[in-house]
């Protein structure tokens, strides 16, 4: 388990813009280059037009030129062990493999480790689409 990934997700959660739901979320991704990319949920008054923490982290990773996710940590201020939503599960699958580790956190650290295949057992596979 990776404390650096947890710390990055926690720090990102602190920057969330969640004035409507009051549900801050942070996510951190370790990419194929070993670097960590983080993100927070960012809401918009035109709900549900905001975006999730995982989406923000993926965006940072892609903009840095990376395309492979090795592991992900997710933390929510008001819900321990908060998993990625359905849409984010598919977004993560776009850049991951079935064995990509997803760490679910609470305020003290990583508490549960799942594989992406546990969260999204029948995802669309990019090889089929390409």
Please give the positions annotated as active site: 54
Residue 24 and residue 76: Cα distance in Å, rounded?
6
Which strands form 109-115's sheet, in the order they lie side by side? 36-40, 25-31, 69-76, 101-106, 109-115
Residue 30 and residue 33: Cα distance in Å, rounded?
8
How large is the angle between the packed helices 53-63 and 3-13, nearest 10 degrees? 110
Enumerate the β-bridge partners of residue 75. 26
């Amino acid at each position: 388990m990776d404390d650096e990934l947890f710390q990055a997700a926690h720090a990102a959660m602190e920057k969330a813009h969640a004035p409507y739901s009051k549900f801050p979320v942070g996510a951190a991704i370790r990419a194929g280059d070993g670097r960590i990319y983080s993100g927070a949920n960012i809401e918009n008054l035109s709900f549900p037009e905001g975006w999730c923490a995982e989406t923000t982290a993926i965006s940072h990773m892609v903009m840095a030129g990376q395309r492979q996710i090795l592991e992900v940590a997710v933390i929510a201020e008001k819900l321990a062990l908060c998993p990625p939503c359905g849409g984010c599960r598919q977004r993560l699958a776009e850049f991951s493999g079935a064995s990509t580790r997803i760490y679910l956190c609470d305020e003290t650290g990583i508490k549960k480790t799942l594989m992406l295949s546990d969260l999204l057992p029948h995802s669309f596979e990019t090889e089929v689409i390409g």
